[in-house]
Amino acid sequence: MDGEISLLKEPEENKSCCCPKEPLETIRKDRGFVLTKWGGKGKGDEETNSLNTPSAGYSEEPLGFDEFLGYMRNNMFTISAMAFQDLMSLDGERLKRCRVHVLAQDDRVIPFCSYNTLYREEDLQKVRCLR
């Protein structure tokens, strides 16, 4: 051992989770993940307070994995937050990691983290000119 770090096998092309084949695919995947964290109950959906029954309390029977996942999907609470960035605190490195994007009027894909600070007025002007 000479202290050198080397790959044991060559990476397969387009198989890395860090370098997707198409950058827009990463955006779609991440946006899909964010969208699964938001939702509501539709008409006729049953409100459940326990793991197996609509009434309060726990079931004596252990849950199967599918029932557990269903329970967690319907009863999990998620808080999403994003640090505010203005012109004085705009962070280029954080913008590179931004995974929620806005499609501008001219078909540019803009990171949401910078949209309101840098591009919103520009888009509003274009919309006003179209009227």
How far from 76 is each of 40, 79, 103, CA to CA, in Å?
12, 10, 30
Q: Where are the beta strands (DSSP E) in the chain?
A: 101-103, 109-111
Domain boundaries defined on the chain:
23-37+62-130
Report the distance separating Cα 103 and Cα 121, nearest Å: 14
pLDDT, tens digit only, all 131 positions of the chain: 577 777 676 766 655 555 556 767 777 777 777 777 665 555 555 544 444 444 445 566 777 888 888 888 788 877 767 677 777 888 888 877 787 778 877 788 888 888 778 777 777 777 788 77
- 8 A C-beta contact, residue 103 and residue 115: no
